[in-house]
Structure 1
Amino acid sequence: MAVELRDILIREARREDLPALVALFAADTLGGHGDTTDAAAFADYARAYAVIEASPDQTLYVAERGSEVVGTFQTMLTTSLTGRGSSTMIIEAVQTRAEMRGRGIGTGMIEFAISEAKGRGVRLVQLTSNALRRDAHRFYERLGFKPSHLGFKMALK
């Protein structure tokens, strides 16, 4: 499904978008994920894309302006017994190209994800953000998100 918001087209990612997506993540020095445009790593991204594409509960999206990928995000649906067996949409890996920030792209992507969640009868939309991303925190709060939980991680690799 593709939706045009303002001058941005939001659509499901395609395999041919991978180089642009990898470049977006590799440019994020604050994230600390170790992403790289090194050709030797491309197979790792291709494998991950195949898993996401095959999953009925995960969707990878791109925001496109003209014919250029200018942003991306991923959604995941999870259902648990809490909340009377309700579903939650998790928004992950939100990125907008640095030189394109402040132009409504991030807002369009998040509004699109929320609309998708509502259309699926999801009870809750949640996301996490690196503790150092204070601008992103203000952005999410402007969109109606509330900080509510403290997250913990354990690196295994």
Structure 2
Amino acid sequence: MAAADIIIRKAREADLPALIAMFAADPLGGHGDTSDPEAYADYALAFATIEASSNQTLFVAEREGDVVGTFQTMITTSLNARGSSAMIIEAVQTRADLRGQGIGARMIEFAIAEAKGRGVRLVQLTSNAIRTDAHRFYERLGFKPSHLGFKMALK
């Protein structure tokens, strides 16, 4: 099967179990994701928040009815750069057993096309510093490592 078999669509609440399983199986994520049923309400609340926002969209990559990847986009507008908007691509994840098949590239290309269609000035993303394979992947797609990011955990 090829990346051409991939359908990118908005996520539905019914996709949550597959998405949660993907994030929980990521050994490098370190975000505290879990498939524990007690955590489902947290994911459902986050889904509802994203769904209610006009500037955020959660997408899934689907192949033959199975969710095989996901990413989220956020549009932000700031006063600098003459009030232009940027798209942030977040939480890019391909199912571990299907990596290297073009699914991630298909998702990123879709996000870039969405940004262009919305007249966005630039697309940006962050990647965990230890994900060197992901860094090479993003650079192959045309992204440049141009900024240094900082985070502060509050929870």
**TM-score, normalised with respect to structure 1:** 0.97
Given the alignment of the two structures, is residue 12 of structure 1 paired with residue 16 of structure 2, yes or no? no
Q: Which amino acid aligns with 1:68?
A: D
SS of alignment partner, residue 103 of structure 1: coil
SS of alignment partner, residue 21 of structure 1: helix
Which residue of structure 1 lines up, in the alignment, with residue 26 of structure 2? 28
Structure 2 distance, partners of 1:153, 1:76, is 18
Which residue of structure 1 lines up, in the alignment, with residue 94 of structure 2? 96
Structure 1 distance, partners of 2:129, 2:107, is 21
Unaligned runs of 5+ in 1: none
Q: Which amino acid aligns with 2:93?
A: Q
| Alpha-carbon displacement from aligned partner over 1:78-135 (angstroms, at most 9, x marks no partner) | 0000110000000000000111011110000000000000000000100000000000
Q: Counterparts of 1:78-89 in structure 2 under 5 Å?
A: 78-89=76-87
Structure 1 distance, partners of 2:6, 2:49, is 26
* Equivalences, count: 153
| Alpha-carbon displacement from aligned partner over 1:54-84 (angstroms, at most 9, x marks no partner) | 0000000000010100000000000000110
Which residue of structure 1 lines up, in the alignment, with residue 44 of structure 2? 46
Q: CA RMSD in A?
A: 0.6
SS of alignment partner, residue 6 of structure 1: helix
Q: Which amino acid aligns with 1:79?
A: T
Q: Per-residue deviation at 1:33?
A: 0.3
Which residue of structure 1 lines up, in the alignment, with residue 109 of structure 2? 111
Structure 1 distance, partners of 2:148, 2:25, is 27
Q: Which amino acid aligns with 1:20?
A: A
Structure 2 distance, partners of 1:125, 1:43, is 31
Q: Per-residue deviation at 1:31?
A: 1.1
Identity %: 78
Structure 2 distance, partners of 1:100, 1:135, is 15
**TM-score, normalised with respect to structure 2:** 0.98
Q: Which has the higher contact order (CA 8 A, sep 6+)?
A: 2
Structure 2 distance, partners of 1:10, 1:117, is 15
| Alpha-carbon displacement from aligned partner over 1:31-58 (angstroms, at most 9, x marks no partner) | 1001000000000000000000000000
Q: Which amino acid aligns with 2:39?
A: A
Unaligned runs of 5+ in 2: none
Structure 1 distance, partners of 2:96, 2:24, is 12
